[in-house]
Structure 1
Amino acid sequence: MRSRRARLPAQVTAACPDPPPYGAATPVPAAPYGGGKPSASLSAMDTAAGPGFRPATAEDVPALVALIESAYRGDASRAGWTTEADILQGQRTDPEGVLAVIEKADSRLVAVEADGELVACCQLEHRGDHAYFGMFAVRPTLQGAGLGKLIIAEAERFARDEWGAAEMHMTVISVREDLIAWYERRGYTRTGQTSAFPYGDERFGLPTRDDLEFELLTKKLG
């Protein structure tokens, strides 16, 4: 069966302060995207109706926080390969951080649903000539099934076609070689440009090692 590609929504919402490059991460619009119902479908899973995109709202905040935490923190996150449990304890985000992303101008926080359940999310932010991709989380038990690469491909399409972005940027903890390798297979390049991890800011976790930093990855959107 031919898959139908879900489309990201097309508008923006109100502003709030820039989140740190880590942890928090991204986007949402309003009305023209069908009042909160998922658009089309992403045929990535063995279900009759594959996952669909919709803009996240304030009502989604508790579920989004739970999803992000489950993908990266604690023993439950070990069910998937994106876990950071070996390098970071504590929280990865909080309700205030997620709401800030939802309300940020030139940004979208996208909820991905399957069978009426939240299964993934991602941030997409317009930053002039490029877009920023972040707050990417997939339910641990669904990781490795191809959903993630479909989401990032649609985010790239949207950034290129709707915003005219020439590149996609993201920051990844530099010791996460497995995660960086996954992005490299999607066409991303390590730049060698690094930024400091927010040590001492418990909103972004409690590091178990002292060598954490973020590396910028980029991809040209031709």
Structure 2
Amino acid sequence: MDFSTFRLEKAGYHQAQAISDLINQTYRGEIGWTTEAAIIQGDRTDRLEIETAMRHSDACFFVAYQAFMLVSCIYVAKEKEQAYIGFFSVHPSLQQQGVGKYMLEYAEAFAYNIMQVRNFSMFVVSQRRELIAFYQRRGYRLTGQVKAFPFHLGIPKASNLTIDYLEKVL
């Protein structure tokens, strides 16, 4: 994919609803390899949660546009000596074209160069083995920390959902 046609920028509050919509479409929509619609129902997030995340003083939301279409977003928050990566989404129509890899590398470089951190963390629904594999191919490893699925992320359709924590050290 030609990323020269992308416009990557720090997100503002006026983009919070569009970011929420993209995340919900990515994780709860019917298409795309990142959908969780078969195992979780309801929205993944909302405008208020995105705005709250944006208020974090040591955090940054990045968005990528192609023409006027929001195609990706990623959140990086410094927490002590590490950077938490979250709210990471790529529009279903552009998945598996390198956009996710590009955005993750950008967020990690920002955290390393600007936030001065070398440790990264994130969590993924444990049952999403293909998503965990995506992160493992990019240097993340499972920490062994597993927690019950947090209900603010949606309503489980499958029993015994959990989340796995992953980390990466540069």
Report % sequence identity. 38
Alignment partner, residue 211 of structure 1: 160
How large is the RMSD of aligned CA atoms in angstroms?
1.3
The aligned length equals 170
Q: CA offsets, 1:69-107, max 9 Å, x none?
A: 1101132xx2x1000011101111111111111112211
- Tell me the TM-score normalized by structure 1: 0.73
**Structure 1 gap ranges (5+):** 1-44
Q: Which has the larger radius of gyration?
A: 1
Q: What is the DSSP-based 3-state SS (H/G/I as helix, E as strand, rest coil) of the residue aligned with 2:114?
A: helix
> Runs of 4 or more off by more than 6 Å in structure 1?
none
Alignment partner, residue 161 of structure 1: 113
Q: CA offsets, 1:25-45, max 9 Å, x none?
A: xxxxxxxxxxxxxxxxxxxx2
Structure with greater strand percent: 2
Alignment of 1:116 onto 2:68? yes
Structure with greater helix percent: 2
Which amino acid in the other structure matches residue 87 of structure 2? M
The separation in 1 between residues aligned to 2:116 and 2:7, in whole angstroms, is: 23
The separation in 2 between residues aligned to 1:144 and 1:190, in whole angstroms, is: 22
Q: What is the DSSP-based 3-state SS (H/G/I as helix, E as strand, rest coil) of the residue aligned with 2:124?
A: strand
**Structure 2 gap ranges (5+):** none
Offset, 1:127 = 1.1
Alignment partner, residue 55 of structure 2: 103
Alignment partner, residue 73 of structure 1: 28
Q: CA offsets, 1:35-60, max 9 Å, x none?
A: xxxxxxxxxx247x332321111211
